[in-house]
Amino acid sequence: MLSSATAGEYSPKAGLVTLISFFQPDDRGLINDIPVLRVTRQGPDALHFVQTPLEPGSEVQLVLDWDRRFDHMQQHSGQHLITAIADLMFGFKTTSWELGRQRSTIELDTPSMTADQVAALEQSVNDRIRARIPVVVRELAVGDPEVELVRSRGLPDDHTGPVRIISIEGVDANMCCGTHISNLSDLQMVKLLGTEKGKKNKTNLVFLAGNRVLKTLERSHATEKSFTSLLKTGPEEHVEAVKRLQNSLKLLQKSNLNLLRDLAILTAQSLKNNLDQEPILVLHRKDGDSEFMNIIANEIGAGETLLFLSVGDERAAGLFLLAGPPEAVEKLGPRVAELLEGKGAGKRGRYQGKATRMSRRPEVEALLRTFVSEQSTEQ
């Protein structure tokens, strides 16, 4: 949703946001129907990057992408609240945070956090939201003694003007230049998704706030409905149903592998019968693998016959193996890989690799037959 703003005079230094937060993504919107691609901070100014130049001093219409702005407000204010309560309850200091596209992360200065601590923190955070505590923005002079009493990571080197303080009444006061809600009730709720191991013996706490909780619930419910339809079981049985499918798949894969090995041996025995009549043996199997090719090559053994094996989609990517007299394989192997637009390596009479153009296998066979013919003529 885009919300319109009043008309005003265009200045390259005027902004959709008055200041850009260190950790909050910038706003998006339109200036006279021209998309704003990016907004960055340069000292006290908000610099806008647009697709088409605008005339300084001209009257313009600003349109803000409110959905994006409000989402950032909810996540940022949610971070302030979680950070404050985590410090009050457990003494866990926030050292950094990231406002992600789908979920956000707070880096806490603690090596670990128990499940009970996460649950207690979530409960306390949501208690504050239900209490409808106001969030107040104040501006103080740089030399004001009150500035020293608030939580802060320090001012940037190029800072000018007043210091902006975000206060959650009775909970927290923090120096910040991001956009925020005006009351904790606007957060709706906060969901802590758990923790992840962070850098330098720290813990990353993952969270959602506001509309992101609803959107995540909607996606999860849609996924749950799909699983119910596919697995033919209720949600409480999904995990066990998937485990049964995984076990069945493992058994089928093992059985298929054994059958493929047996087939490779039988195929090799069949090919052996043609060794005396054919100087070149060519075989392709779509559902084979590298082991299938190597079993055949091992069963046939070293000899004067050139063996060209391939597996995979006949018209896409796959694997190949060239076996035979070491000198011939050493010479032909790189040329085979080049024809198949792939890469390979080899030693001691074998050259194998990956190909991206299996459809050129007939060209490889022609190359091999030409080579054998030339060798026979020379002898």
Mind listing the pLDDT tens digit for each residue in 112-140? 999 999 999 999 999 999 999 999 999 88
Q: Please tell me the CATH code under which domain 69-219 is placed.
A: 3.30.980.10
How sure is the predictor about 163, in pLDDT bands with cuts at 50, 70 and 90? Answer: confident
Provide the pLDDT for residue 311. Answer: 95
Provide the pLDDT for residue 379. Answer: 60
Provide the pLDDT for residue 15. Answer: 39
Give me the CATH topology for the region 267-376. Answer: Diaminopimelate Epimerase; Chain A, domain 1 (3.10.310)
Residue 377 has pLDDT above 70, yes or no: yes
Q: What is the CA radius of gyration of the chain?
A: 33
**Lowest-confidence region among 63-72, 175-184, 272-281:** 272-281
Strand partners, 310: 284, 320
Residue 342 has pLDDT above 90, yes or no: yes
**CB burial class (10 A; 0-12, 13-18, 19+) of residue 49?**
exposed
Are residues 176 and 153 in contact, defined by beta-carbon separation less than 8 angstroms?
A: no
- pTM value? 0.70
Provide the pLDDT for residue 157. Answer: 67
Are residues 258 and 289 in contact, defined by beta-carbon separation less than 8 angstroms?
A: no
How sure is the predictor about 94, in pLDDT bands with cuts at 50, 70 and 90? Answer: very high
Half-sphere exposure of 301 (CA within 13 A, CB side): 4
Q: Which residue has the higher pLDDT, 13 or 327?
A: 327
Residue 16 has pLDDT above 50, yes or no: no
Q: What is the pLDDT of residues 212-271, one digit of tens each?
A: 999 999 999 999 999 999 999 999 999 999 999 999 999 999 998 899 889 999 988 888
Provide the pLDDT for residue 14. Answer: 39
Provide the pLDDT for residue 5. Answer: 42
3-state secondary structure 307-360: EEEEEECCCCCEEEEEECCHHHHHHHHHHHHHHCCCEEEEECCEEEEEECCHHH
Q: What is the pLDDT of residues 34-73, one digit of tens each?
A: 999 999 888 778 889 998 988 888 999 999 999 999 999 9
Coil, strand or helix at 379: coil
Residue 20 has pLDDT above 60, yes or no: no
Q: Which residue has the higher pLDDT, 340 or 275?
A: 340
Provide the pLDDT for residue 2. Answer: 41
Q: Which residue has the higher pLDDT, 369 or 4?
A: 369
Residue 292 has pLDDT above 50, yes or no: yes
- Domains of the chain, by residue range, sit at 2-64, 69-219, 267-376
